Amino acid sequence: MTYPNILIFALSAAGLGFVCLGMDRHAKQALGKAPPLPRGRARLGLGAAMLVLSFGSSVQAYGVSIGITVFFGVIAIVSAGIALSIAYRPSLLRFLGGLAALVAMSVALAGFFS
Amino acid sequence: MSFNPPFDRPRPLRQSMAWLHTWTGLLLGWLLFVIFASGSLSFFRNEINFWMHPELHHLRDDARAIIHARRVLEREAPDSRQWTITLPGPRDPTLFVAWRADVLSSRYSSPSPRSGASRRPAHGSRPEMKRLGLDPSTGEILKMRESSGATFLFRLHFQLHGVSWFVGRWTVGIAAMVMLVALVTGVIIHRNFFKDFFTFRPNRGKRSWLDAHALVGVVSLPFHFAITFSGLLLLGAMLMPSVVRSVYPDDATGFTMGIRGGRDRFNIAPPSRKPAPLGDLAPMVDAAQEEWRGGRAGSVVVANPGDAGATVEVIQAQGYSLANRGIARRLLFDGITGKRLETPPAKASSAIVSVWNSLVTLHLGRFATPVQRWLLFLAGISGALMIATGLILWRISRFKARGPGEAIPVGCRCVEILNVSGISGWLIALGAYFWAGRLLPDTLFARSEWEIRVFFLAWAASLIHATLRKHLSAWVEQLSFSGALIALLPLVNGLTGVSPLFRSLASGPWQVAGFDLCALFAGALLLFAARKVHLHNFGSIALHEPGERPLPATDERSRRR
Amino acid sequence: MEKRATPLHSDKGSALNLGLRVVFAIFGAYGFSVLAGVAFARGGPFSSPLDAAAFSLMLGFILNVCAIVWVFAAATVSRAALGLLFPAMALAAWLHFSG
C-alpha cells in the first residue's frame, strides 16, 4: 500500500466515522446518547470536510478519472466496515474518527516533508 | 411478495416500483449472479491463469528478459515488420513475445506491389498475431498444458457457454438491461437512503437480510451503475445495430473499430528498405523507466526491425487515464542509435468518446494497479452479494407470507432450489473446476474441454442435490462442500505444483500466494456461513414474526463475553 | 409490505393489464429508444459519426430504462402505451420528413 492510498483510506475512514457519529441513531449505539443538534451537525460537517479532502487527494494522486474510481472504491469498503462494526462492536466507533484523523494528519505531514 | 400485480388499480409509485424490482430481480437474479461472480473473478484473469499452470510457477522476473526476447524474435520472426515484447511484471512473470504475421518486410520476399505498404487488417478483425511465452531467465519457449484457464470464466461472463456467441451475448445484454431496471427501481423504493446508510441489524431474520441487501447495494452503488451501464455499452453495437448503422451506413465495423482507437493504430510506418542492425533494447527500456521515475515498462514495440528506419516504442505498464482507454505513457526511440525521438501525441478523444472510454475502461479494468484491481474486484463481489441477498430475501418473504399449515408453494420451492444451486452450487462448480484444472492428467485428450465438463457436471449435481434435500439442509451441505473444496485448493496446489503456500509466501510467485490465500479466506467464509445456517436450522423452527423478539440462538450465547 | 387492496377488478383483467405492460416494456420501450437513438444520431450536432453513434447508444440505453419504468409507473395501460407511442410517432415523423 503506497502513501497516497493510505492517506485516501485514512481520510475516508475519519470522514465516514464522523458522519456516522453525527447521526442520532448511530451516536446512540456507539456513545450511549444522541448528541445535541449543533454537535451532531458539527460532526457531519467535519466528516464531510474530510471526505472532500479524501476525494481531493485521490484525484491529485491518480488524475480525475482513476481518482474518482479509487475514491468510490475506498468509500464502499470503509462504509461496509463501519456498518459491520456498529452492528457487532458499537464501542469501536468511538475511537475511529479521532484515530483515523490522526493517521491522516501524520501521513500528510510525512508526505509533506519527504 | 406473492404474485399479485397491482397495475389495474390506482396505486402509489412505490408499489409499482417494488413489484418491478422484485420480479426483474427474481427472474434474472441467478443469471446475473453468475455474470457478476465470473466477471469479478475475471479482473484477476492473469493471476488465475497463472495459478492453473503450475509448470510456469518457477518463472521469475529477470533483467535479461528483454535480451532473451530479442534473440527469440530474431530467430522466429526475422521478417515480421512489428515485434511486441510484453515484459514480466507483478501480474505475470511470463515473458511474452508476439509478432505481426500479416505484415512482412520485403527483405526476404519477392517485391510485390503490396510490399512496403501496411496491409489493412481483414474486415473488422485485428491484425494476425503470433504469440509465444518465454522463460524470462533463459529465453526458453514454454510448453503450457492445455487448459481453459480463467478464459472460460471470462467468456462465461459475457457470452455464456454452450450457446452461440450471438445468443450468449444477447442474453447477457438483456440481463444487463434488466439489471439496470432493478437498480433504478431499487433506488426509488429505498426509504431513508442516507439515514440507513450504515444500518445493519443482525439476527433479525428478514429484517437483517433486507439490511444486508440494501447495505451491499448502496455502499458501492456508483460501481453497480457504472459497471452495468458500461456492460451495455460494450455490447451496444450488437444490441442496437440500427443506431450504429444510421451513421455508418456502409461500414459494418467502422464504429467498433473507431471506438477502440481506429484502424490507424495498426498502421506501421513504411520501412526505408536499407538494412541496419537493431540497437540494444535494454538501455532504451532503462532510459524510459528512469524518465518515468520508477514507473515500470510494460511492453516494447519494435517497428521494422532490421531496417534503418526501425523505431522502438517503450510503453509504461500502468495506464494513467480512463478517458483515453486506459492509455499508458509511451516513449519513442530510434531503433539503431537508441536516441529519443519525438513521441507523437496521443489522439485526444472528444468529450463524448471520453465518457464512453471512461466507462468502458473502468469495466475492463485494464488500467488498474493491484490495489485498484482489488477495489474493482470487491465492488463486483458486492454486486454478486447484493443479488444473492436479494434472492434469499425473496424466499424468506414468501416463506413467511404463507398461511399457517400451508404447504410451500411450487414457485417458492423452485426459487429455493435455484437459490441453493445457483449460488452455492455455482461455487461448488467453481471449486471443482479448479481441482480438475490441477488434477486432470496433462496428456488427456481435449483436456480443456474436460475441465469445463467437470464444472457443469458439478453444477448439475448440486441442482439435483438441492431438489432432493430440505432447503436449509441443502444450504448447509452445499456451503460446507463448496467451502471445503475452495479452502483445500492451496493443498491441491502444494501437492501438484512447485510453489506451495509456505514457499510462495516466502519467495515464490506472489500470484500463486495471492490465489491460495484468497481461496483459504473464501473457503473459511463459506464454512462460517454454513455453520451459521446450521445453527439457525437447529436454533429455531420458524423464522421470527415481525414484532417478536429474536430467539436466542446458540451462537449468540457463545458470542457474549 | 403494503396490505393487499380488495380486488375490485377481475383477475383476468389484472392479468391482461400486466401482460400488456410486459409487452410494451420489452418491445415498445426498445423500439422507442432505438427510434430516439437513430433520430439523435442523424439530427444531432455531432462533429463525427463516431460521436453521434456513441452518444446515441448511451442515450438509447438510458431511454430504454426510463421507458420500462414509465410503462409500469403509468396509472393506466392506455397512458403507458400513449406515453411511448406519441414520442415515437413524433420521432418517426421527423425521421421520415428529414430524409
Same domain, B410 and B535: yes
Q: What is the pLDDT of residue B144?
A: 85
C-alpha cell belonging to residue B497: 505444483
| More reliable by pLDDT, C36 or B266 | C36
Give residue B120's pLDDT.
47
Q: Which one is predicted more confidently, B478 or B503?
A: B478
B214/B88 same-domain check? no
User: What pLDDT, in 10s, does the model give residues B156-183?
Assistant: 999 999 999 999 999 999 999 999 999 9
Is B435 found in the same domain as B453?
A: yes
Break chain A into its structural domains and give their ranges.
Answer: 3-113
Q: Does B355 contact C58 at a Cβ distance shorter than 8 Å?
A: yes
The pLDDT of residue A1 is 53
Q: Are residues B108 and B190 in the same domain?
A: no
Q: Is B29 in the same domain as B175?
A: yes
Which domain covers residue B195, as residue numbers? 1-52+147-261+350-401
Cα(B160)–Cα(B173) distance, rounded to whole angstroms? 11
CB contact under 8 A, B362 and A69: yes
Q: Which residues does chain B have within 8 Å of residue C61's beta carbon, measured at their own beta carbons?
A: 177, 180, 229, 232-233, 236, 240
Under 8 Å CB pairs connecting chains A and B tally to 73
Rounded to 5 degrees, what are φ and ψ at B270? -65, 145
pLDDT value for B122: 45
A25-39, B46-60, B98-112, B509-523, range with the lowest pLDDT:
B98-112
- Cβ pair B181:C69 closer than 8 A: yes
pLDDT grade for B111, boundaries at 50, 70 and 90: very low
Which chains would you list as touching B if contact means 3+ CB atom pairs under 8 Å?
A, C
B245 and B361 in a single domain? The answer is: yes
Interface test with A, best of B219, B293, B525 (most A CBs within 10 A): B219
Q: Is the minimum CB–CB distance between B16 and chain C shorter than 8 Å? A: yes
Q: Are residues B437 and B332 in the same domain?
A: no
As for how many domains chain B has, the answer is 3
Asked if residue B202 and residue B234 are part of one domain, the reply reads yes
Backbone φ and ψ for B271, nearest 5 degrees, come out as -75, 160
Three-state secondary-structure class, residue B391: helix
Amino acid occupying residue A21? L
Q: Establish if B560 belongs to a structural domain.
A: no
By the 10 Å C-beta count (0-12 exposed, 13-18 middle, 19+ buried), B429 is classed as buried
Residue B241 near chain C (CB below 8 Å): no
Find the mean pLDDT for residues B112-129: 53
**Statement to judge: residues B2 and B48 lie in one domain:** yes
CB atoms closer than 10 angstroms to residue B546: 9
| β-bridge pairing B95-100 and B82-86 | antiparallel
C-alpha cell at B250: 456502409
Q: Is the Cβ–Cβ distance between B544 and B550 less than 8 Å?
A: yes
Pairing mode of beta strands B129-134, B297-303? unpaired
Residues B195 and B250 placed together within one structural domain of the fold: yes
> In this complex, do A86 and B216 lie within 8 Å of one another by their Cβ atoms?
no
**B561 lies in a domain?**
no
d(Cα A11, Cα A49) in Å, to the nearest integer?
Answer: 10
For range B358-383, the mean pLDDT: 93
Mean pLDDT of B330-350: 85
Instruction: Tell me the three state secondary structure of residue C38.
Output: helix
Domain stop point among B401, B417, B444: B401
| Chains with ≥3 CB–CB distances under 8 Å to A | B
Greatest extent of chain A over all pairs of C-alpha atoms, in Å: 42
Residue numbers of C between 59 and 88 with CB closer than 8 Å to B: 60-61, 64-65, 68-69, 72-73, 75, 77
Question: Which residues of chain A neighbour B215 with C-beta distances below 8 Å?
Answer: 80, 83
Residue with the larger pLDDT of the pair A58 and B269: A58
Q: Which residues of A touch B217 (CB under 8 A)?
A: none
- How does DSSP assign B114-134, residue by residue? TTTSPPPPSTTSPPPEEEEEE
pLDDT for position B390: 97
B15 and C CB contact within 8 Å:
yes
Q: What share of chain C is helix, strand, coil (3-state, %, to 5)?
A: 80, 0, 20
Interchain CB contact of C98 with B (< 8 Å): no
Domain shared by B386 and B505, yes or no: no
> Residue C27 and residue C25: Cα distance in Å, rounded?
6
My answer on whether B94 and B120 are in the same domain is yes
Domain termination site, one of B346, B370, B391: B346
H runs (alpha helix) in B261-350: 281-291
Predicted confidence at residue A70, as pLDDT, reads: 95
Q: What is the pLDDT along chain A (114 residues), one digit of tens a residue?
A: 577 888 899 899 999 999 999 998 898 888 888 888 898 899 999 999 999 999 999 999 888 889 999 999 999 999 999 999 999 988 888 887 778 778 878 777 777 765
- Quickly state the pLDDT bin for B106 (edges 50, 70, 90): low
pLDDT value at residue B544: 46
Which positions in chain B touch C54 (Cβ < 8 Å)? 259, 352-353, 355-356
Mean pLDDT value of segment B396-413:
85
Which of A19, A66, A78, A89 is best to mutate for the B interface (most B CBs within 10 A)? A66
- Decide if pLDDT at B452 tops 80: yes
- Nearest-5° angle of CA B126, CA B318, CA B264? 30
Show which of B385, B401, B417 is a domain's final residue. B401
Mark yes or no for CB contact B375/A80 under 8 Å.
no
% of chain B exceeding 90 in pLDDT = 59
Contacts of residue A53, Cβ cutoff 8 Å, sequence gap at least 6: A11, A15, A104
Phi first, then psi: give them for residue B155, nearest 5 degrees.
Answer: -65, -40
Q: Which residue has the higher pLDDT, A2 or B533?
A: B533
Using an 8 Å CB-CB cutoff, list chain B residues near C38. 242-243, 246
Contact of B200 with A29, CB cutoff 8 Å = no
pLDDT surpassing 50 at residue B264? yes
